[in-house]
Structure 1
């Protein structure tokens, strides 16, 4: 029946959300807000001068052919945190690829913490994500992204999935960090040169003036529940982590973020 030529094609998700923060009376205020389709964005009340921007995909996940975009524009000298309301799910694809595009723009001296919750890849998922941040002089970006391979609670072992993830950070019109990842079925094999059987992995980055100075503190704080390494150079500090499951990974990320964020609490919507 599904192969009948008159069968209507399945509807695909199209979601776009964007928020711009500009200087206000004592704290940032909303200078622009747009949302359409499955993408929503809100700013919950927080007991801090630093606002939290929360993006939500009302579709509950992404599958082949879906498109989801989010954008944050942060004015000069402002500070903000941006995250997602829950974990994003990459569902099995019946054809085509789901696409996610994230755009971050920071004015001079601004500081943005981009802290989405984890992306969970289901068996048969096909997902491409691209994140681009544009920094002006003096701006600082904290980034943390986590990926979980399969649903451990369901006894799922990921054997087939396609995932590409490209991160770019530009400063004054020049690329300062380009980080592409392509994950396919062969990369899921339990080999030492690949993920070595890990079911979850994360990338953390601090980019901005003096960022390399944080490397020593991160190395000292790496928990023994994860495998990881830290590098610091030329205004960048980068940590890579792998773990046997999502919970130890997320706890380790929280530990390292407390250092990169100088003790600031995690976003209120985070679930650990």
Structure 2
């Protein structure tokens, strides 16, 4: 006889956990660690600057997933970090926890670190909390880009509900140099066409360069333009910040690639296929 008092146990959903870390010194690789779905690859390159490519083998993020990446350029080291492809954040379970991504970056004395992940694509009902922190020495050079795309225009996707918490911090010699908190939720998406919110944009990007004399590049970058891409370029006190937005991810990606190539005076990592 069946026990009528027994209640069904909710199924436990499998969640992604992963951590990958790379430490590079002036003489080459110092440390490499990886676990779970987070992987780090060091492809062969034909230039003097090594590249580290991070990969999430789960294919995307959803409610409760946890990823952590760490990239360290030791004293006197030049290093470029990127991701193999765009990261995707899919629909979360109802009232479920956010997916979490933690990125820790470090550049030692005289180091040059470029953090150039490809875009993050958010799908309807995604929940993502991400924090990127960079600790750089007083004379280090640091360049980063972060691009967020709200659904795929080519697939006719419209994102109406999601929750994104995205925070970026840069500290030079322990002092806060740059802080950019970003939060997007359903209330903001309902006003996406308002000039003080997204102004109709589906894709947004921030580029930051922290280097002595970085502000001098502002006049070089202001003339760069792409049809359908709106930009703002600011330079001051050893900092250059570019913010760009577009109604589609593809033209924004092309603009970001051109701006990064101009800043770096070098091609983008090969995984950035255009």
TM-score with structure 2 setting the length: 0.94
Q: Deviations over 1:60-98 (max 9, x none)?
A: 110111110100111111111100000000100001100
Deviation at 1:186, TM superposition (A): 2.3
Q: Which runs of 5+ in 1 are unaligned?
A: none
Q: Which residue of 1 aligns with 2:246?
A: 243
Deviation at 1:49, TM superposition (A): 1.1
Q: Which residue of 2 aligns with 1:259?
A: 262
Q: Is the 8 A contact 1:75 1:106 kept in 2?
A: yes
Q: Which residue of 2 aligns with 1:61?
A: 60
Q: Secondary structure at the match of 1:221?
A: coil
Q: Which residue of 1 aligns with 2:83?
A: 84
Q: Deviations over 1:45-65 (max 9, x none)?
A: 010110110000000110111
Deviation at 1:150, TM superposition (A): 0.8
**C-alpha separation in 1, matches of 2:91 and 2:226:** 33
Farther-moved stretch of structure 1 (5-14 vs 39-48)? 5-14
Q: Secondary structure at the match of 1:138?
A: coil
Q: Which residue of 2 aligns with 1:70?
A: 69
Deviation at 1:213, TM superposition (A): 1.0
TM-score with structure 1 setting the length: 0.95
1:211 aligns with 2:214: yes
Q: Which runs of 5+ in 2 are unaligned?
A: 1-6
Q: Secondary structure at the match of 2:223?
A: helix
Q: Which residue of 2 aligns with 1:181?
A: 182
Q: Secondary structure at the match of 1:36?
A: strand
Deviation at 1:149, TM superposition (A): 0.3
**C-alpha separation in 2, matches of 1:171 and 1:260:** 20
**C-alpha separation in 2, matches of 1:10 and 1:180:** 30
1:220 aligns with 2:223: yes
Which protein is bigger by CA-based radius of gyration? 2
Moved over 3 A (4+): none
Q: Is the 8 A contact 1:19 1:72 kept in 2?
A: yes
1:150 aligns with 2:141: no
**C-alpha separation in 1, matches of 2:31 and 2:270:** 23
Q: Is the 8 A contact 2:118 2:272 kept in 1?
A: yes
Q: Which residue of 1 aligns with 2:173?
A: 172
**C-alpha separation in 1, matches of 2:208 and 2:255:** 14
Q: Is the 8 A contact 2:23 2:31 kept in 1?
A: yes
Corresponding residue to 2:19 among 3, 16, 23:
16
Q: Is the 8 A contact 1:222 1:256 kept in 2?
A: no
1:112 aligns with 2:110: no
